[in-house]
């Protein structure tokens, strides 16, 4: 597995080595030892999640505040999505900036999204199966979000507004300037 830092250096793209032949392919989708060697510290995932969505479904931008903040390792099993992470760490030099990367069943890329980032994705294919690991459990009380169409963040979701499908919760998220940020991050990954 290869790891690459992005323009927002705490966001890591993980690229598996694909071994294939006429029978199909084989990949390692996760190697804790290799990831920890790259990061320089331990990471402990405790839960795997999976969702199935159709074209235009947008989920996000979501995050959890401490003590239930989460690191996510996200990937696409089927289809393609535009995956987005927004830096919401007030003391970060990239505060308010976002990264958008296409994750597909063909490229098999994964994105490591640490604590202190809001995260979301939109389905670009007819259907997508999206899977991710988290290093902390879900907490309703700590769950927060930011409006997907916030002008300050300025995400180009690559899907026409009239084709987007959002949950009632995601339609009423606050704008970036009204969101609750991470004031201090001592550990991105735990």
Distance of CA 6 to the CA centre of its chain: 13
For residue 98, indicate whether it is catalytic: no
> Are the C-beta atoms of 127 and 53 separated by less than 8 Å?
yes
Buried b (16+ CB within 10 A) or exposed e, 122-156: bbbeeebbbbbbbbbeeeeebebbbbbbbeebebe
Report the distance separating Cα 112 and Cα 135, nearest Å.
11
Phi/psi at 4 (nearest 5 deg)? -135, 135
Report the distance separating Cα 130 and Cα 75, nearest Å.
6
Please tell me whether residue 8 adopts helix, strand or coil conformation: coil
For residue 62, indicate whether it is catalytic: yes
Report the distance separating Cα 189 and Cα 81, nearest Å.
24
Which is the catalytic residue, given 63, 98, 119, 132? 132
Cα 63 to Cα 7, 69, 89, 166: the distances in Å are 21, 7, 12, 16
Which is the catalytic residue, given 62, 119, 181, 189? 62
> Which residues are identified as catalytic?
62, 132
């Amino acid at each position: 597995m290869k790891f690459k830092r992005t323009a927002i250096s705490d966001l890591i793209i993980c690229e598996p080595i694909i071994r294939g032949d006429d029978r199909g392919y084989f990949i390692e989708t996760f190697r804790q030892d290799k990831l920890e060697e790259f990061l320089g510290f331990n990471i402990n995932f405790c839960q795997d999640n999976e969702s199935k969505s159709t074209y235009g479904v947008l989920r996000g931008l979501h995050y959890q505040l401490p003590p239930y903040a989460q690191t996510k390792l996200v990937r696409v099993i089927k289809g393609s999505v535009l995956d987005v992470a927004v830096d919401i760490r007030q003391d970060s030099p990239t505060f308010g900036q976002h990264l958008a990367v296409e994750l597909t069943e063909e490229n098999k890329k994964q994105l490591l999204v640490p604590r202190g980032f809001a995260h979301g994705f939109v389905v670009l294919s007819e259907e997508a199966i999206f899977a991710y690991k988290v290093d902390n459990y879900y907490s309703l009380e700590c769950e927060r979000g930011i409006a997907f169409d916030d002008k300050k963040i300025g995400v180009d979701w690559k899907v026409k507004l009239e084709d987007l499908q959002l949950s009632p919760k995601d339609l009423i998220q606050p704008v970036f300037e009204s969101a609750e940020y991470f004031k201090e991050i001592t550990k991105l990954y735990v």
